[in-house]
Amino acid sequence: MDDEQERLFPIANVGRIMKQILPPTAKISKEAKQTMQESATEFVSFVTAEASDKCHKENRKTVNGDDICWALSTLGFDNYAEAIVRYLYKYRQAERLKANQNKGNSTPDNHEEESNYRSGGQHGRQTELPIPLEFRVMERGDNSQARPS
């Protein structure tokens, strides 16, 4: 059982996220939760393995957010990658803001660094915040390279 807990996400958390999407009257079977638990775990392993491969080829030891975005895109999850790039940009802005506040400097740095995934590591200014995370329905076969074990 300990092995299983190591390998999978907690079923209670998976069920809670599923419940938020369903109408209040809807129910989720135990097998549906366990199927999703298995699927989500496989998804993470799959994307991480691809990101890890990139780091290995580039002789880097640390996987970062850009590697995750790149992996999503490479594996055919293009719509995911776009949304996650926006998330990552916003995340970095928030982190920078937090760091500035900790320093006692409440004015955020205007020269934001965009995700390397999108801008090739160049500095750029962006006046409006990127739109929040939103996935669109993919056409069948959009992620045709996806090959989970």
Beta carbon of residue 90, minimum distance to other proteins (angstroms, whole number): 6
Name the 3-class secondary structure at 38.
Answer: helix
Out of 97, 108, 112, 116, the only residue in the binding site for other proteins (CB under 8 A) is 97
Other Cβ atoms less than 10 A from the Cβ of 37: the count is 20
Other Cβ atoms less than 10 A from the Cβ of 81: the count is 20
Beta carbon of residue 105, minimum distance to other proteins (angstroms, whole number): 17
- Greatest CA separation found in the chain? 51
Is residue 99 close enough to count as binding other proteins by CB under 8 A? no
Is 127 or 144 the residue whose CB approaches other proteins more closely? 144
Beta carbon of residue 102, minimum distance to other proteins (angstroms, whole number): 13
Two tokens, residue 88:
């990552």
Site for other proteins, residues 21 to 50, rule: CB under 8 A: 21-23, 25-29, 31-32, 34-36, 38-45, 47-49
**Which residues, in sequence order, are bridge partners of residue 113?**
123
